[in-house]
Structure 1
Amino acid sequence: MTRAKDPIAVAPQTSDAETEGGKPQRGIQSLDSTGQLLSALVAAGRPLALRDLALAAGMPAAKAFPHLVSLQKTGLLARDSAGNYLCGPLGLELGLIALQRLSPTREAEPEVIELAGATGLSVAMAVLGPLGPTVVRLEESARPQHVSLRVGTVLSLVHTAIGRTVAACLPENVLAGLLESDHLRMAGAAATEGLAAGGKLARDYVERLARVRAAQVDNALSHPVPGIDTLAAPVFDHTGSLALVIAVMGSSGSFDSSTEGATAALVRQAARRLSWRFGALKAQ
C-alpha cells in the first residue's frame, strides 16, 4: 500500500475488513503508519527506543517520530526513564476493556475447529470447574473413534493428560486439596497416588508436573481409554493464570503422540496463539 507523507492524507481502502455493503470505505493513510508502529511495539513485547521501533515498523525514524509524539499526547504510548516507548495509560485501559470482554471458551472455538481439521483428530477443550478439569467442548474427528469423553466429563488430575496439564498450573496447596477427591473423577486416582504423607504431593507426581511445565504439553498413551492417545497443552490469560486446556485425541499408532513430535507442535502452537489472544504477551 502506498503511504502518504504527513500531513494526513485520505485514500480509499479495499480490504474486506474495511468494507461495508460491498463498497470500500475511506481511511486515513497516515494512521496506517501509526498502526504499524503500535503493531511493532506489540510484536516486540518490550519497550523500544525510537530507532528500534521505527526499524521494526519499516520506516525512517524521522517519519516515525511525529506519530509517536501524537501517540504520547493521546496516552496510547508513554516513555520510560530511558526514553523507550511503551504502552501508555489509555493503551492499558483499552487493553483491559478488550480482555474483560473476552470469553476464553468462545474465542477458542475457531482454534479448536482448525486444530481438528489440521490433525484429523478429535479435539477437546477443558477448564478447571468446581469439580475439577471439565470438558466444555468436543470437536469429533471424522474418523470413527471410541473416545469416551463427553461435554461435562470431569477428568482425573493424575491419570489424564488434560488433568495433569491443569495440575501443572495450580498452586501446590490448591492442587493438594483437589487430589483428595480425585477418585470421583474419570480415571480417578486414590489420594495416595498423588499425595504423600503429610498431605504433600508425591515425588513422582511432582516430577511429572515439572516436565509438563517445561514442555508446555503432556501426553497420555492408551490411558485412561485403551487404544486412545492424547496430547494436551495449556492456554494462559493476561494474568499468567490457566484459562483452559486444549487436547487432541486419536487411535494409538495413527499419529505421533510423543511430546516432541509434529502433532505436539501443532497443539502447542494453537495454545500459544490463544494465550497471545488472551493477553499472555510472553507466549511464543
Structure 2
Amino acid sequence: MFPTVTDTANLPADSADTKPQRGIQSLDNTGELLTALVAAARPLNLRDLAAAAGMPPAKAFPHLVSLLKIGLLSRDASGCFEAGPLALELGLIGLQRLSPTREAEPEVINLAASTAMSVAMAVLGPLGPTVVRLEESPRPLHVSLRVGTVLSLVNTAIGRVFAAYVADDVRAGLLAQDSVRLAGASGADIAAQKKAYAQRLGRIRTDGIDTALSKPVPGISTLAAPVFDHTGSICIVLALMGPSGSFDCEASGEPARTLRSASSRLSRRFGWMTPASVAQNSDT
C-alpha cells in the first residue's frame, strides 16, 4: 500500500500550532524596515531607516527598492522614504473594517482583570455620552450605572472628557440638554461655574485624563481617558471605577497610567498619531 499524503488542513489544531511556521527570511527583513518606518511616524532617509531597523544601509537598500516598485513605499522630494499608495490603500481598508467598540472589548476586559476595578466604555450618542459596555470588578459597585445610561457632560468624568475634545458647536448642543448642569445656581454662580468648567476642560486636554472623586455618586471615584480615531476625533472614553479611598485617584498614579496606556493602544490601533509623533514630524 502506498503511503498517503497527510492533509495538514485536517490535522488537529493543537498539533498544527505546535509546529513552528517557516517564513521567508528576506520578507522578515523587509517587515523590519516597514515596522521601523511606522514607529518613526515620519519620512526617513536610507541611513536613518536602516539604523532604526538594525541593519546596514547596503542590506536595506534592495528591500526598499522592491517596496518602492510595488507601491508600499514612495520617496518625497528630499529622497526620504514614506508610505506609498499601496500602503495607504491597505490602511484605508483596515480603517473601514474597524469597529471601535468591538476592537476595544479586549482592552476593557484586560483593564478590569489587571486593576480589579470596574471598567466602563462610553460613546457619544444623540443625547450625550452613553455607556455601551460595563465590565464589573469581582466586587461589583452599587451604582445605577448600566449599559444605556446617558451621562452628564458637567458632573461626570466620562462626560467631561467628551466635552473636552468635541467641537465647540457639538459641546454647546449637548450642554443645552444637560438639565442638571447648573440647577439652582444664580446668575453670578453660573458665570463662575462656566469659567471653572472651561478651566477643567483645559486641564483634561493637558493631562489626558479626568477624575471624579465621590461625585456624582458618594463613595465612588472614577478615572476617565479618551480614545481617538485616525482623524484625531474622540470616539470612545474608557473609565476605571472603584470605591473612594481604595485606589490611587491621582492623575499620576498607577491606575491612571494603566488607563492611559490602554487608551493609547486603542488610539494607535485606530490610526491616531500621538502628539509627540505629530510634533516630531512637523520638526523635520
TM-score w.r.t. the length of structure 1 is: 0.86
Say which SS state the counterpart of residue 255 (structure 1) adopts. Answer: coil
Alignment of 1:85-234 (within 5 A): 85-183=81-179, 188-190=180-182, 202-234=194-226
TM-superposed CA distance for 1:145, in Å, is: 2.0
The alpha-carbon distance between structure 1 residues 191 and 53, as it changes in their structure 2 partners (threshold 3 A), is: farther
Q: Residue 274 in 1 paired to residue 266 in 2?
A: yes
Distance in 2 separating the partners of 1:257 and 1:206: 22
Q: Residue 265 in 1 paired to residue 222 in 2?
A: no
TM-superposed CA distance for 1:192, in Å, is: 8.9
The alpha-carbon distance between structure 1 residues 204 and 161, as it changes in their structure 2 partners (threshold 3 A), is: same
TM-superposed CA distance for 1:158, in Å, is: 0.3
CA contact (8 A) 1:179 1:191 kept: no
CA contact (8 A) 1:233 1:268 kept: yes
Deviates further, 19-28 or 214-223: 19-28
Q: Residue 256 in 1 paired to residue 248 in 2?
A: yes
Partner of 2:6: none
Higher relative contact order (CA closer than 8 Å, sequence separation 6+): 2
Distance in 2 separating the partners of 1:27 and 1:48: 27
Partner of 1:60: 56
Distance in 2 separating the partners of 1:238 and 1:63: 33
Question: Any unmatched runs of 5+ in structure 1?
Answer: 1-18
Matched residue type, 1:104: P
In the alignment, which of 79, 85, 97 is matched to residue 83 of structure 1?
79
Distance in 1 separating the partners of 2:137 and 2:171: 32
Q: Quick one: percent identity of the two aligned structures? A: 66
Matched residue type, 1:272: S
TM-superposed CA distance for 1:282, in Å, is: 2.1
Say which SS state the counterpart of residue 168 (structure 1) adopts. Answer: helix
Question: Any unmatched runs of 5+ in structure 2?
Answer: 1-14, 277-284
TM-superposed CA distance for 1:255, in Å, is: 0.1
Q: Which has the higher helix share?
A: 2
In the alignment, which of 228, 234, 241 is matched to residue 242 of structure 1?
234
Q: Deviations 1:108-159 (Å, cap 9, x if unpaired)?
A: 0111111111111000000001111000000000024213210000000000
Distance in 2 separating the partners of 1:241 and 1:20: 42
Distance in 2 separating the partners of 1:57 and 1:147: 50
| Aligned-residue CA RMSD (Å) | 2.1
TM-superposed CA distance for 1:52, in Å, is: 0.6
Partner of 1:11: none
The alpha-carbon distance between structure 1 residues 91 and 249, as it changes in their structure 2 partners (threshold 3 A), is: same
In the alignment, which of 56, 62, 70 is matched to residue 74 of structure 1?
70
Distance in 1 separating the partners of 2:51 and 2:74: 19
Partner of 1:30: 26
Matched residue type, 1:108: A
TM-superposed CA distance for 1:205, in Å, is: 1.2
Matched residue type, 1:233: A
CA contact (8 A) 1:148 1:225 kept: no
Matched residue type, 1:214: T
TM-score w.r.t. the length of structure 2 is: 0.86
Distance in 1 separating the partners of 2:56 and 2:143: 56
